[in-house]
Amino acid sequence: MGLPVIPPEGSRSASLLDLVTSHVQRRNPKGRAAVVHRLDRDTSGIMVFARDGRAKKALMDNWDALVFERGYVALAEGVPDGDEGVFEDFLLENQAGQVYVASPQARGSLRALTRWKLLSSSSSGGKGSGGAQPFCLFSLSLETGRKHQIRVQLSSRGYPVAGDARYGARSDPLGRLCLHAAILGLEHPFTGERFSFESPAPDEFYALASPRRRPNPR
């Protein structure tokens, strides 16, 4: 299990924020890292931190404009028809924080667009999964950044992310939400320079989807 981005309230357990702050303080003893965006709980992958208040404000105020690419890899239940396509929906959040697909005319609904590609799939769950549940591996590129976007769009089509009981998953093969932030393209808020970051998804994702090789998530 990975580190939480920030420690739970009242906890002294290690967090990613603590580690990044320690790194920042090697050069600036008074410095402190700051979280500028979020990943869903148990999602692994790329995170960006600011190393001072000026950078934090610039990144948080302009995040959607600065990010030019967002790619995820998801291990999901079931196997879709086709190898690639586009998910387009309108999403709405209820008072309990649950997000669902709504009518485009629904008040407050937000358009969600995700391009997807099937990387691999299995006819059964594979070793350690009970053998009955087929899994597939999606590469997903976000055109919009809505809350729980990937999780809701996959679940609404019958392919919930493995381990995501909140949105209908029946399996929990790895004891976590099987979603990984694999690609992030970000423009520097001050210089305009563009950076592309990549983080390979866990080997266990690929093993459960039974690939013969690791496909390129692009």
3-state secondary structure of 180: strand
| Range(s) of the domain holding residue 141 | 64-208
Question: Could you tell me if residue 52 is inside a domain?
Answer: no
Return the pLDDT at 128: 42
Q: In total, how many domains does the chain have?
A: 1
φ, ψ at 215 (rounded to 5°): -75, 160
Question: Could you tell me if residue 21 is inside a domain?
Answer: no
pLDDT (tens place) for every residue of the chain, 218 residues total? 567 788 777 777 778 888 898 888 898 888 889 899 989 889 999 999 998 899 999 999 999 999 999 999 999 999 999 999 999 999 999 999 999 999 999 999 999 999 999 999 986 544 444 456 899 999 999 999 999 999 999 999 999 999 999 999 999 999 999 999 999 999 999 999 999 999 999 999 999 997 554 556 66
Question: Could you tell me if residue 176 is inside a domain?
Answer: yes
Evaluate the CA torsion angle 128, 152, 177, 67 in order and state its sign: positive
Catalytic residue numbers?
40
pTM for the full model? 0.87
Assign residue 188 the CATH number of its domain: 3.30.2350.10
Question: Could you tell me if residue 5 is inside a domain?
Answer: no
Question: Could you tell me if residue 191 is inside a domain?
Answer: yes
